[in-house]
Structure 1
Amino acid sequence: MIPKDIVRIQKLADLDLDYEALRNEFGPLSTLAAKVAGTELSEVNLIDNYTQWTVASSCNEFSQMNREDSICNITIQEDTDFKSRVDLDPRFNQSSFVTKEGYKFYYGIPLKLNDNIAVGTLCVGSKHIEDLSEAQIQQLHIIAKQIVKQLELKYELQKAKQSIYDEKLIKLRLAHDIRSPLSGISQLVEHIDYENLSKTEIKEIVDSISSAAAGILQLTSDILKDDNFGSTHVDEATFTVESLGKKLTDLYAPQAKSKGISLSINAESNPLKFPKRNLLPLVGNLIANAIKFTQSQEQVEVALNITNSEQRKILSITVADSGIGMTQSQVNSILNTQSVHKNGTSGELGYGMGLLFVKELVANLEGIMSIESEKNNGTKIQIQIPIVE
């Protein structure tokens, strides 16, 4: 994985996008691009570690494909754009885009955010035209800039949400850290017998301490019950275990099916809601990585449930595959933050930072990650994420 790949994937994680939900937002811009170019096809694509996600299309379809099979995988590496007569280009003329769908022409623009990292593309394709005019190209770049602007606004929104989340976490820790000892002080004061003080003095001291303790206890209770504080967990920003499982199934079942792999996602029935924060890129990368390193006719199993620890509830995530596995040395390399570069099982490129990226996301969520693997005998990854209620 090249450095720009790492930065791009991290940027997509920071955006924390629900790819399926972007169709309504970017669909009209994709349709406009097709009309401007006079082409049968226009797509807005986002490209992560393994997958190109077509989040909007002039055909009104949400789809996905292996990143290495995509022409846009080349476009994201270009400075301004990429153009090809794909029917004549030896890199593409044997692809299904040409041989099955009949396309002759491709033009793509990398969608670069303000740090100049391309997270995806706006592209058009035609079965009839062979080139675009300068005016058409300029107009397509204007549309691409609008898509980038909307993505940057989403990024700023995520940063604001993160600040709110961090503030909430600090307040929760403060409240829980001081509430218990102060409760003990109040109980202790109730039972102290000051033998050498007059009743009046004892009463004054006890009343003063009790009043102070009660005031702080009330303050911490107010922090925990603050309506504005708790309202950051609106339905749109939360998952339940079941809704997370359904979303993961919708996104990754097609990848497993295309490779002939059985994907099973078992999600516990539990009404508890928890923040969506980075869970889709975290679990999604684990599933995609498991699919990548598992042979056809084998299986990937995912289990999602809520467990209780001494102080809080825990989201437990397990992803197990029957794939090629890793040696203990390779496992140690991941856990010790060293890159492991390997190829997949169907000729996929070895984007070896996948598990390291997940490890970083887990650490950011103050979670725990463990790996059990044996060469040629599969891999099992378990993650525990504390839930802030």
Structure 2
Amino acid sequence: MGFLRASPPEAFVFLRSLKEVDLTSKDFSRVKKLADLDLDYQELKEDFSILSSLAANIAGTELSEVNFIDNFTQWTVASTLGGFSQKPREEAICNYTIEEDHHLEIHLAEDPRFKNSNYVTQDGYRYYYGIPLKFGDDVAIGTLCVGGKNIDELSEKQVEQLHLIAHQIVKRIQLKFELKLAKDNILRERKLKRQLAHDVRSPLSGISQLVELTDFHDSSKEELGEVIKLIASSADSVLELTDEILNDILIKDELKKSKSVFTFEALGKKLLNLYKPQAESKQIKFSVHYDSLKREFTGKNLLPLIGNLISNAIKFTAEGGSVRVDLNLIGLKPKDEKIRVRVDDTGIGMTPEQIEAITQTDTRDRLKSSGANGFGMGLLFVRELTEDLGGDLHIKSKPDRGTQITITLPLTLE
């Protein structure tokens, strides 16, 4: 189900390769949508815990979860079994649910895919009902699902109410996104006012001083005419300066829209908290190293961008291997400063042909249209998002020798 946790005793612990992930353009669209929403999964528990419990009460089931699914990971943000958790996507029934238009209903003990799994034979779960979470007709970004031990079906009324809850979850995500945009707009307006006050003060002060120093009684018409011309010229300069500031703000607003604010320490700790459980489940040594700078910077989509790199590295690194992340500020001058993200792993590596398939435009287009294996589509998403943000991506890798991926991104430093 969506519910597959390793810790609670009655959670659904799936056999590996329940459904191996062969990523397609649909998956690419899903991850792009999640990146646009820029969700912080760890902060969503308070938003959806009550709705998850309500779904279980309506369905009369022991279990209900709210999940989001990216290329490789199912993120459980609310569950009647506990709090935030994660697991490989291929181990989750909800991996099937996101492919459905309306819902997925399964009698677990009768389905050959699941009847011998430990959540059926050991924990006694018999029934699953999952609803894909969609924005309009777009691809599903996650699921609301319930699972029971003592029921075999839901009534029409129960199904209707579960779909209403799923609708509320989608609506709440949309409202959170719109609220974030509204807050960003307020911050931009405040910044604009400060910038206008600073940049317009000098020319206005010059006009004021010119008026104070002019003797309007004893000056000739010619002298007064020159003063008036200077005042008019200064006023025109103020108007031009104001237009330039406003146009610059509007252009940046269109390009950057909503952004998240980080320090290197905050970003590093967030990545460690999110992805260390994935690494530990495979006995992979995972570490994050970052500059000690205290300055804040804005970087839209940094979490999904770096997160997909990390998930990709963990996915294709064998047990006992290592994944290391380095976050650094580079550039000698403030205007040249960029963030550098480097992910090193001891995984299976890539051939030159595989690297070319990720970095060359024509092969990338074919991958998107025809589908690709996991690392191909996962890194394709990273490459495209990096380019959208005005950054660069470089890959160093050899088969069976691991991979190093370096991303540099322009930043707005606060």
Query: How would you bin the TM-score normalised by the shorter chain?
Result: 0.7 to 0.9
* SS of residue in 1 equivalent to 2:141: strand
Query: Which is further off, 258-267 or 17-26?
Result: 258-267
For the 8 Å contact 2:358–2:376, the answer to whether it is kept is no
Q: Output the amino acid matched with 2:70.
A: D
The offset of 1:111, in angstroms, is 0.8
After the TM superposition, which residues 263-278 of structure 1 pair with which residues of structure 2 at under 5 Å, given as runs?
Answer: 263-278=286-301
TM-aligned CA distance change 1:115 to 1:80, over 3 Å? closer
CA-based RMSD of the aligned residues comes to: 3.8
Q: Counterparts in 2 of 1:50-65, with a 5 A limit? A: 50-65=72-87
Name the counterpart of 2:164: 142
Q: CA deviation at 1:313?
A: 2.2
The aligned amino acid for 1:80 is H
Counterpart of 1:254 in structure 2 is 277
Alpha carbons of structure 1 residues 19 and 100: separation in structure 2 relative to 1, 3 Å: farther
Specify the SS of the correspondent of 2:109: coil
| Structure-2 residue corresponding to 1:106 | 128
Normalised by the length of structure 1, the TM-score is 0.79
Which among 374, 379, 383 is matched to residue 403 of structure 2? 379
Q: How does 1:1-389 map to 2 (within 5 A)?
A: 1-157=23-179, 237-310=260-333, 311-337=335-361, 338-339=363-364, 350=374, 352-388=376-412, 389=414
Displacement after TM superposition at 1:251 (Å): 0.9
Contact 1:261 1:296 in 2 (8 A): yes
* Aligned 8 A contact 2:31 2:70 in 1: yes
**TM-score normalised over the length of structure 2:** 0.75
Q: Which amino acid aligns with 2:163?
A: H
**Distance between the aligned counterparts of 2:231 and 2:38, measured in 1?**
50
The aligned amino acid for 1:66 is P
* Letter matched to residue 135 of structure 2: L
Q: Secondary structure at the match of 2:295?
A: coil
Query: Following TM superposition, by how much is the alpha carbon of 1:94 offset from its aligned partner in structure 2, in angstroms?
Result: 2.9
Distance in 2 separating the partners of 1:117 and 1:369: 27
User: CA 1:166 to 1:5, structure 2 compared with 1: closer, same or farther past 3 Å?
Assistant: farther
CA contact (8 A) 1:27 1:60 kept: no
Q: Is the 8 A contact 1:22 1:55 kept in 2?
A: yes
Find the aligned partners of 1:87 and 1:291 in 2 and give their Cα distance: 32
Q: Is the 8 A contact 2:299 2:411 kept in 1?
A: no
Which SS does the other structure have where 1:59 is aligned?
A: coil
What is the aligned residue count? 351
The alignment partner of 2:158 has SS state of: helix
1: CA distance between counterparts of 2:53 and 2:122? 23
The change in CA–CA distance for 1:95 and 1:104 in structure 2 (over 3 A counts) is same
Distance 1:157 1:315 in 2: 27
CA drift at 1:208 = 8.7
User: In structure 2, how many angstroms separate the alpha carbons of the residues matched to 1:86 and 1:287?
Assistant: 33
Distance apart, 1:371 and its partner CA: 1.0
One-letter amino acid of the structure 1 residue matched with residue 273 of structure 2: D
Please tell me whether the aligned partners of residues 64 and 80 of structure 2 are also in contact (alpha carbons under 8 angstroms). yes
* Pairwise CA distance, 1:23: 0.4
Q: Matched residues in 2 for 1:62 and 1:49: separation?
A: 18
Letter in 2 for 1:262: K
Secondary structure, aligned partner of 1:87: helix
Q: Structure 1, residues 218-251: CA drift from partner, whole Å, max 9, x if none?
A: 769988xx9xx99xx9xx9311111111111111
Q: Secondary structure at the match of 1:145?
A: helix
**% identity of equivalent residues:** 49
**Superposed CA offset, 1:129-161 (max 9, x none):** 222111111111111111111123344456667
Could you tell me whether the CA contact under 8 Å between 2:312 and 2:375 is conserved in 1? Answer: no
CA deviation after TM superposition for structure 1 residue 37, in Å = 0.7
From the superposition, tell whether residues 222 and 80 of structure 1 become closer, same or farther in structure 2 (CA, over 3 Å): closer
**Structure 2 spans left out of the alignment, 5+ residues:** 1-22, 197-222, 368-372
Q: Report the Cα distance in structure 1 between the residues aligned to 2:243 and 2:117, rounded to whole angstroms.
A: 63
Contact 2:343 2:406 (8 Å CA) reproduced? yes
* Distance across 1 between alignment mates of 2:311 and 2:190: 32
Higher relative contact order (CA 8 A, sep 6+): 2
What is the Cα deviation at residue 101 of structure 1?
3.4
Gap change, CA 1:298 and 1:149, over 3 Å in 2: same
Q: Residue 116 of structure 1: CA displacement?
A: 3.3
Q: Unmatched 5+ residue regions in structure 1?
A: 176-199, 342-348
Q: Aligned equivalents of 1:293 and 1:128: distance in 2?
A: 39
How many Å separate the matches in 2 of 1:29 and 1:126?
17
Q: Which moved more, 1:84-93 or 1:42-51?
A: 84-93
- The alpha-carbon distance between structure 1 residues 151 and 383, as it changes in their structure 2 partners (threshold 3 A), is same
Q: Distance in 1 between matches of 2:187 and 2:319?
A: 41
Whole-Å Cα distance in 1 between the matches of residues 271 and 393 of structure 2?
19
